[in-house]
Amino acid sequence: MWATLFDAFLVEAKWFAVGHIPKSEEYIKNGIVSSGVEVFLVHMFFLLGDGSNKENANIIDNNQDQDIVSSVSKILRLSDDLEVEQDENQDDHDGSFVKCLLMEHEYSSLKIAREYVKKMISDTWKCLNEECLSPNPFSENFLKGSINLARLVPSMYSYKHKNSFDLIEECIRSIL
């Protein structure tokens, strides 16, 4: 997982170095990995004791591309990219799914592209909830931790608001 994460970082570094703006699908596929959420969830899986034997350990390995893990990653990536588009201090030093959409689809406005991304986040939440409520190989604690991590995302990106750090601390305690 760590090697995959670093490979995703390298892909983004190469894009930035040459000024390449990838297609939105290519960006989000890599961005889900580079968010680091998959690595976090794998560690959480083992810290919870869910990988206590080889058979159980294979559950997370065989399900990394499943909707539970990828949905939490996608929620974080898209939320981060919405925030990046509003952060005037970024000076194009960070990639953005919104930027990819604007270049690829030539949306008439940033507002329309942002609304599209918000709908994607909403649809991803629906997928995550459906997966967590459907039969799957993960423990209840892992599912709860995954949902709580996704719930933490809005607090992480409201850091400009007073008391958001208290909310983040409370959510992290809930996750752990």
**Residue 170: pLDDT band by 50, 70, 90 thresholds?**
confident
Domain boundaries, the chain: 2-137
Closest by CA to 73, choosing from 100, 97, 94, is 97
Structural contact between residues 152 and 167, judged by C-beta atoms closer than 8 angstroms: no
Rounded to an integer, what distance in angstroms lies between the CA atom of residue 105 and that of residue 148?
33
Residues contacting residue 39 through CB under 8 Å, at least 6 positions apart: 1, 2, 5
Each residue's pLDDT tens digit, 7-20? 999 999 999 999 99
Closest by CA to 42, choosing from 26, 27, 53, 57, is 57
Each residue's pLDDT tens digit, 82-138? 887 655 444 555 678 998 888 887 666 888 889 999 999 999 999 999 999 999 889
Q: Among the CATH numbers 1.10.3720.10, 3.40.50.450, 3.40.50.300, 1.10.600.10, which is that of 2-137?
A: 1.10.600.10
pTM: 0.84
